[in-house]
Structure 1
Amino acid sequence: MGAQTSVAPKASASSWPVPPQGGWTADDLDRLPDLPPHTELIDGSLVFVRPQTIFHERATDYFKWQLQSLAPADFEVFRELTIDIDRQNRPEPEVVVVRGNVVEDANQTRFPVAAVILAIEVVSEDSVSRDRETKPLKYARAKIPHYWRVENEKGRAAVHAFELEPTTGTYTSVGIFRERMKTDVPFSVDLDLTQIRTRRATPQ
């Protein structure tokens, strides 16, 4: 029997949303039907996220729950909700710390950038340039006081922490943390980063 070949069906004209002149806007993320989960808006373009790794999932969970337990009462911590930076930029950090007075109802999907205290990005294979270059530049220009970038170093977490320098409007490094992260900003934390693992510990 001869080898069979298959031809992929042609995508219909409506398979992908066609951007309007000038690009998509922040409000469009809530209006467009059938967008993949965790779609972001960067410079008016839709950014789709690839399937994530175990490290990414565990790091996101770890910072969400640890910071939630340590944050002052007037702060709230969320994972994977978007930030309104401007009309053409609505990124979605893995974890965000916001002032509690902007939490309005259970159907809320985004926060005003002025209320954001800390944005955390967990770097994945397809987000390296966005998390190291594009997003910190936009976060700094939007005056988010603190930015943490979490890198996977052979299955272990390394946290690159940055603080906004008000005179220049840019981020300055406050340290790279491995195994333990102890800092007083934006509030006091003492984190055991060795708990973020790609594999569970084997019982002895």
Structure 2
Amino acid sequence: MAAEAEPEPAPRQSSNTVPDWLIPPPEGFTAEDLDRLPQLPPRTELIDGALVLASPRAIFHTLVLSFLEHALRQASPKTVRVRREITVRLAKRQRPEPDLLVLRAGTAEDRRETSYRAEDVVLAVEVVSPESEERDRMRKPQLYAKAGIPHFWRVEEQNGYPVVYVYELDPSTGQYVATGVHRDSLRVSVPFDIELDLKEIDKF
């Protein structure tokens, strides 16, 4: 009696299947797509037409955000507003999400909106994480400067404390110029007067 042929194994499912919505079209995603894509994780950015998904944050990152947000709110005049983790539409395929924003107070706000316009932003702040070093140090400042955002701060960690690199837009070149590196204290007069002991982060 002939032995019965063994059934062929079913094809294996790939464990690396990428959801269809995550695959960009040939021309890349657009700023509007961030509001239309299903199942998009929170804090997703769009840079150069590609989605950038946020990694889990270190305690330092969250601590610095809370610390600086509080300090900016305390020091800000009535002419500006402080916002946290909202995307900004810079161009058709550029919609990054700064960690902190300072906006002109006259900005019309529809509370159903999920982004701001670049022309309403006075200051963009990025707190650098290990996975975002290249974007925060290089690409994002390029995009913010090109969009005409007048002030940019980059915050780095050094021995558990924040170091703030301050930049101001040179309107003649359209590029940022470094105006100071602040380690123990931050004292600037633009976009408004603020004096801050960076060691006070220990109180948060």
Same fold (TM over 0.5): yes
Residue 129 of structure 2, aligned match among 89, 102, 124:
124
1:168 is aligned to: 173
Q: Secondary structure at the match of 2:38?
A: coil
Q: Deviations over 1:145-181 (max 9, x none)?
A: 0000000012111000000111111111110001110
2:195 is aligned to: 190
Return the letter of the residue paired with 1:137.
Answer: Q
Q: Secondary structure at the match of 1:127?
A: helix
Distance 2:184 2:25 in 1: 47
C-alpha contact (below 8 Å) 1:55/1:196 kept by paired residues: no
Structure 1 window deviating more from structure 2 (46-55 vs 62-71): it is 62-71
Shift of 1:99: 1.1
2:117 is aligned to: 112
C-alpha contact (below 8 Å) 2:107/2:120 kept by paired residues: yes
Identify if the C-alpha distance between structure 1 residues 76 and 20 changes in structure 2 by more than 3 Å, giving closer, same or farther: same
Q: Which runs of 5+ in 1 are unaligned?
A: 1-6
Distance 1:66 1:95 in 2: 12
C-alpha contact (below 8 Å) 2:21/2:38 kept by paired residues: no
Structure 1 window deviating more from structure 2 (139-148 vs 61-70): it is 61-70
Q: Deviations over 1:101-141 (max 9, x none)?
A: 22413222111001110000000000001011001111111
The TM-score normalised by the length of structure 1 is: 0.89
C-alpha contact (below 8 Å) 1:121/1:131 kept by paired residues: yes
Distance 1:179 1:72 in 2: 24
1:65 is aligned to: 70
1:39 is aligned to: 44
Structure 1 window deviating more from structure 2 (99-108 vs 82-91): it is 99-108
Count the aligned residue pairs.
193
Off by >6 Å, runs of 4+ in structure 1: none
Return the letter of the residue paired with 2:177.
Answer: T
Question: How much identity, in percent, do the aligned residues show?
Answer: 42
Shift of 1:58: 0.8
Residue 80 of structure 2, aligned match among 65, 75, 85:
75
C-alpha contact (below 8 Å) 2:88/2:116 kept by paired residues: yes
Return the letter of the residue paired with 1:14.
Answer: P
Return the letter of the residue paired with 2:45.
Answer: E
Shift of 1:17: 1.9
